[in-house]
Structure 1
Amino acid sequence: MAYYVPERDYKPEQIPVEQLTHIIYSFANLVDGEMTFRKPEEAGAKLAALVKQKERNPDLKVMIAIGGWGADGFSDMALTEESRAKFIASSKAFIETYQLDGMDMDWEYPGISGAGTKARPEDTQNFTALMKGLREMLDTFESPKLLTFASAGWKRYYDFIETTEVMKYADYTNVMTYDQVSGVSIYTGHHTPLGDVKSADIAGTPFKAHMDSLYQNGDNLDPDPRSAQKIVDFLIEKGVDPKQIVIGGAFYGRVWKGVPPTNNGLYQLSGGLHVGWMAYHAIREKYETDSNFVRFWDDKAQAPYMYNAKDSLMLSYDDTVSVALKTRYAMEKGIGGIMFWELGNDTKQEGSLLDAIYKEAQK
């Protein structure tokens, strides 16, 4: 399941749709409580071109995501029965217009402000009501329509949604098992790990002291580092059907600067906020070919990282090995599948991340 942000140099006809089951165009906008495009003549043409790729893979499901990080208006839209009905009607018209196979709700986050978005205590119940209304609307179509939502890879999020109720209406929850160490962290760590790392595994590191303080003051509900395995087990314990859980791969990395060489830069205090995110195609071109960058593998986290001692840079990312492992885990665990953010960040050369996922899935 690929999230796809249209770009000038990666048109729909170039996408290897034969390797995908679902592709989610990102994003539609929430404007005056309705689903729409701010520039429909431009974005609508790109979405129509994407839908046309079903000619190459008739089994492909093309969906629309609405929202995303920093997108506001969801709390107001979901507030009343009338405001929800207005949005649901606009969603139906949108799906009809573009002949889509479903929609993905990217409300980040009900009950919790993300990037300054409005949040209310009532969001919890209102999100359930919204998903119920969307499900009922989607079920009026002659052909089956999918309803998914992007969820967080950390436990506190699930205190603010009625998880098992919402899952009655959603086909899948797309768990964002990346940014587990985020862009506001001055501590290095794995941002998209698969493995279940325990607090004891990182004893003596600055990251461990940081995690302990977050746990003690209630900002983290778990003393251990986050991971895909940890949140999957948590959701299954909460009663979510494993087949409805989709985990995420990151087609981008996070880079910190001013990182000391201890432990090859992992779990250290950096010299400031991280440099930023980097698309995998740029990692392939700039870092994997640079002899100053050395790749390391963390068996506990089941994740790679790179360290450049010359420039004191540390990179956390997914590579072909780790996304294949996530795919294998998804199959062996019996969960719904794997998704990733986002397709355009992949290398367009041979040996891409999507290739690695597809090959592993065929085994």
Structure 2
Amino acid sequence: MPSRRLLPLLALLAALSLPFGAQAAPAAGEHYRVVAYDTAQHPIPADDVDRIDTLIFAFAQVVDGQVTLGDTARARLAQRIALKAAHPQLKVTVSVGGWEAGGFSEAASTAAGRQRFADSAAALLAATHADGLDVDWEYPGHHESGIASSPDDRAHFTALLQTLRATFDRTGHGKHYLLSIAAADGPFVDGIDIAAVAPSLDWFNLMTYDFCNAMTPTTCNHTGLHASALAPADARTLARAVRQFLAAGVPPAKLVPGVAFYGREFADVQPEHHGLFQRFGHFQAMIAWPQLKADYIGRHGYVRYWDAKAEAPYLWNARTRSFISYDDPQSIAAKAAYVKAQHLGGLMYWEQDNDPDGELLKAMWQGLQ
């Protein structure tokens, strides 16, 4: 059986030798993570819990430089931690941050601030019996979400993660606290020294979705696996994100790309190519998977199309000129096959509340077996 240290070479050989879209059999004993971001208020069915390796509870916040979780959120986190009694394989970690959540740049700017951040995180994990921390800083060196940023964020982020890893190792009393980050791709990752942070992390959660949104000029496959024939040369895709991180030296097993359990709808879309990669009037809404099934897919004038090159579905309503990009069981199966072919770490999804019946989770889990 090949060791995990040989997996970067295996992934390169797989990329060179497999035909496009081919699926590699998993290496003997290889396990692919299913990682779930969780903001759900409802209980998670037992069958779903058994298909999840790591549940990432969202969100803690940075308050006065410290990782902080309010009383209401702590009570909900305690309910998730309690799942571990009946599902001992489950890990539950806490994500700090999220879109528009600031405080990171300021906290990471000094050695004392980084240690204060790390100490508060370690104290939170010990108090709640969580298994680790996910840092969702969106994004170091960027201020698109309205948070403070600095050109020094790149170096400070590396130092912050190193401080977290050292603090967790010192305070864990033999327990290995997991440490991951949520990371985007393309230009949104230029504020991270990917190679430098990789040794501190158990894995990267790649946010390979929201490739088009209210701030982009056209529609797209918002969570496409590969580039559409209509896509511009710089279009973001899951496969391109993976190649970017591999090129930076990240071991394949530390890469966990993301799946969207929701769609993005655009209105007043130009009608060419059924609205795909066309200019739009305005962004309409994010639509959870149950609502997509109930009100959109094959209903009320919405016709499903499949972009074979991107391996992504989309909906077009010719009457209303509305376009929706989303993931479904077919595209999730394609992503799972890609993960196995490249020997990546697994798949993650945003988020648990958007799949209450577990349909998309089951497709992901089955695809990774």
> Does the Cα contact within 8 Å between 1:6 and 1:46 map onto a contact in 2?
no
SS in 2 for 1:231: helix
> Does the Cα contact within 8 Å between 1:18 and 1:56 map onto a contact in 2?
no
**Alpha-carbon distance in structure 1 between the residues aligned to 2:99 and 2:54:** 21
**Alpha-carbon distance in structure 2 between the residues aligned to 1:28 and 1:12:** 20
Shift of 1:276: 1.8
**Alpha-carbon distance in structure 2 between the residues aligned to 1:14 and 1:334:** 28
Shift of 1:311: 1.6
Q: Which of 199, 220, 228 pairs up with 1:189? A: 220
Q: Which of 249, 257, 274 pairs up with 1:239? A: 249
Shift of 1:186: 4.5
Q: Which of 25, 41, 53 pairs up with 2:57? A: 25
SS in 2 for 1:294: strand
SS in 1 for 2:140: coil
SS in 2 for 1:168: helix
SS in 2 for 1:295: strand
SS in 2 for 1:116: coil
Q: CA RMSD in A?
A: 1.5
> Does the Cα contact within 8 Å between 2:213 and 2:219 map onto a contact in 1?
no
Larger RCO (CA within 8 A; separation ≥ 6): 2
| Counterpart residue number, 1:290 | 299
| Counterpart residue number, 1:359 | 366
Q: Which of 106, 115, 126 pairs up with 1:96? A: 126
Aligned length: 333
> Does the Cα contact within 8 Å between 1:13 and 1:50 map onto a contact in 2?
no
| Counterpart residue number, 1:56 | 86
- Aligned pairs for 1:83-232 (under 5 A) are 83-140=113-170, 141=172, 142-154=174-186, 156-197=187-228, 201-202=229-230, 223-232=233-242
> Does the Cα contact within 8 Å between 1:153 and 1:180 map onto a contact in 2?
no
| Counterpart residue number, 1:75 | 105
**1:187-232 alpha-carbon deviations (Å, 9 max, x no partner):** 21111000134xxx32xxxxx6xx5xxxxxxxxxxx3311010111
Shift of 1:319: 0.7
> Does the Cα contact within 8 Å between 1:185 and 1:273 map onto a contact in 2?
no
Give the TM-score normalised by structure 2.
0.87
> Does the Cα contact within 8 Å between 2:289 and 2:354 map onto a contact in 1?
yes
Shift of 1:3: 0.1
> Does the Cα contact within 8 Å between 2:93 and 2:131 map onto a contact in 1?
yes
Shift of 1:341: 0.6
Cα distance change of structure 1 residues 15 and 60 upon mapping to structure 2, 3 Å threshold: same
Shift of 1:95: 0.1
| Counterpart residue number, 2:273 | 263
One-letter code aligned to 1:166: V
**Deviating more after overlay: 333-342 vs 108-117:** 108-117
| Counterpart residue number, 1:335 | 344
Q: Percent identity?
A: 36
**Alpha-carbon distance in structure 1 between the residues aligned to 2:63 and 2:299:** 45
Cα distance change of structure 1 residues 186 and 36 upon mapping to structure 2, 3 Å threshold: same
Shift of 1:299: 1.1
**1:66-111 alpha-carbon deviations (Å, 9 max, x no partner):** 0000001100000101111111110011000110111100011111
Give the TM-score normalised by structure 1.
0.88
Extract unaligned runs of 5+ from structure 2.
1-34
SS in 2 for 1:178: coil
One-letter code aligned to 2:168: L
One-letter code aligned to 2:204: T
Cα distance change of structure 1 residues 158 and 349 upon mapping to structure 2, 3 Å threshold: closer
One-letter code aligned to 2:177: K
Shift of 1:153: 2.5
**Alpha-carbon distance in structure 2 between the residues aligned to 1:136 and 1:100:** 17
Shift of 1:13: 5.8
| Counterpart residue number, 2:77 | 47
Cα distance change of structure 1 residues 15 and 288 upon mapping to structure 2, 3 Å threshold: same
**Alpha-carbon distance in structure 2 between the residues aligned to 1:260 and 1:128:** 43
Shift of 1:289: 5.0
